Amino acid sequence: MAQHSANSRNHSSVRRGVQAGNPGMTRILVTGASGLLGLNFALTYSRRHQVTGVVNAHSLTGAPFQVLNADLAKPGSIGEILDRVKPDVVLHCAALANVDQCERQPELALRLNTDLPEEVARATADRGIVLVHISTDAVFDGKTGRYTEESQPNPLGAYARTKLAAEHAVLQAYPEALIARVNFYGWSLGGQRSLAEFFFNHLSAGTPVRGFTDVFFCPLEVTVLAETLMQLVEAHCSGIYHVVSGECLSKYEFGCAVARRFGLDEGLIQPVSVHEGGLLAARSPDLRLRTDKLAGVLGSPAPDQETSMQRFFELYQAGHPQQLRALALGVDSHISG
């Protein structure tokens, strides 16, 4: 297997135009472009680059980027799309991310979370296209925390197992690929996809909600994540990176942070243990990841929690949630490109 080090890419085999400060527009292809991650990536990058978003079950009328409807699970589909779009960079966000559904449908999880990323890796490698594959912090069992990129993964459930298998498959097929282990939140099409939306929706309605005091993570707001990933692409990074916040907190503390930033009642959040949650799939309790490797590329610490939460709040003030819902409804969203 290829080494997971910060090797420079072979520039002769990678398309030009992916450099910091390059005045030209980079052609970017985003898979899973109707999901929370892919849609916000596509919107963020479309302000500076030429973006094509691949969707399957949804249409995005009025999006400020090209939208392709395609079933990536169909054999040969990804190659056809790459030859049509000719992107400089592919961000592979498409995945079966519902951890409980992965437990119920392990074969589907394997197809979408492992086999498909391997196909994307082979297709991009064959064409010399930069690949950013989105992985997860859940590859670790969460028993100790403070994991580095070299720490030994130990996935607990079907989702995490298929995502870890994808890391191995992608690097085997394309050693120069960039794999980002992430944890993120943000505004989504339906307004109910992320943990931040969960807390915001319940607290805004004055509804009591529970927050786990014994589950720790390092989430980034999704547009902050998008910007951070592009810095890694422009630096020609490859291998595995932990692209998360440099600060970690419990799910309960995160909910309180949402409440405070939006002026909501954090007293509505009941502190409980994850063992009281009644969840089907096992959750890793301590997913604090070290970001030293990321900070070395950025030349500064990884984004902190305040920066991320402030962005989440500013997007709300700017009407971003309503603009996203307008896309789902096929209404002119007035999102500037």
Answer yes or no: is pLDDT of 156 > 60. Answer: yes
Answer yes or no: is pLDDT of 77 > 90. Answer: yes
Q: Is residue 291 part of a domain?
A: yes
Instruction: State residue 276's pLDDT score.
Output: 78
Q: Is residue 26 part of a domain?
A: yes
328 pLDDT tier (thresholds 50, 70, 90): confident
Rounded average pLDDT over 301-316: 98
Of the candidates 207, 191, 301, the residue with the CA atom closest to the CA atom of residue 255: 207
Least confident range from 16-30, 245-259, 306-320: namely: 16-30
Rounded average pLDDT over 195-204: 98
The residue behind tokens 């559904």 is 101
Instruction: State residue 69's pLDDT score.
Output: 94
Instruction: State residue 24's pLDDT score.
Output: 58
Q: Are 216 and 286 in contact (CB under 8 A)?
A: yes
Rounded average pLDDT over 18-40: 82
Rounded average pLDDT over 49-56: 96
Mean pLDDT of the chain: 90
Instruction: State residue 334's pLDDT score.
Output: 33
238 pLDDT tier (thresholds 50, 70, 90): very high
Instruction: State residue 5's pLDDT score.
Output: 39
Instruction: State residue 329's pLDDT score.
Output: 66
Q: Is residue 1 part of a domain?
A: no
Instruction: State residue 284's pLDDT score.
Output: 85
Answer yes or no: is pLDDT of 282 > 80. Answer: no
Q: Is residue 255 part of a domain?
A: yes
Answer yes or no: is pLDDT of 12 > 50. Answer: no
How many CB atoms neighbour CB 334 within 10 A? 11
Please indicate whether residue 85 or residue 14 has the higher confidence score (pLDDT): 85
d(CA 213, CA 7): 38
The residue behind tokens 């992985």 is 135
Q: For the chain, how many structural domains are there in total?
A: 1
Answer yes or no: is pLDDT of 109 > 80. Answer: yes
For position 132, which CATH number holds? 3.40.50.720
DSSP 8-class letter at 193: S
Q: Is residue 336 part of a domain?
A: no
Instruction: State residue 277's pLDDT score.
Output: 65
Rounded average pLDDT over 113-122: 98
d(CA 15, CA 11): 8
Instruction: State residue 332's pLDDT score.
Output: 35
Domain that holds residue 44: 11-329
Rounded average pLDDT over 197-215: 97
Instruction: State residue 13's pLDDT score.
Output: 43
Answer yes or no: is pLDDT of 331 > 60. Answer: no
Least confident range from 13-27, 134-148, 213-227, 296-310: namely: 13-27
Distance between alpha carbon 163 and the CA centroid of its chain, in Å? 13
State in Å, rounded, how far the first CA of the chain is from the last one: 40
d(CA 194, CA 188): 7
Q: Is residue 6 part of a domain?
A: no
Q: Is residue 337 part of a domain?
A: no
Answer yes or no: is pLDDT of 30 > 60. Answer: yes
The reported pTM is: 0.91
Q: Which residues pair with 270 in a beta bridge?
A: 210
Q: Is residue 169 part of a domain?
A: yes
Rounded average pLDDT over 257-265: 99
Query: Could you give the count of Cα atoms lying within 13 Å of 258 in the half-sphere of its Cβ?
Result: 28
Residue 143 is encoded by which pair of tokens? 């028993």
d(CA 333, CA 14): 35
Least confident range from 9-13, 59-63, 194-198: namely: 9-13
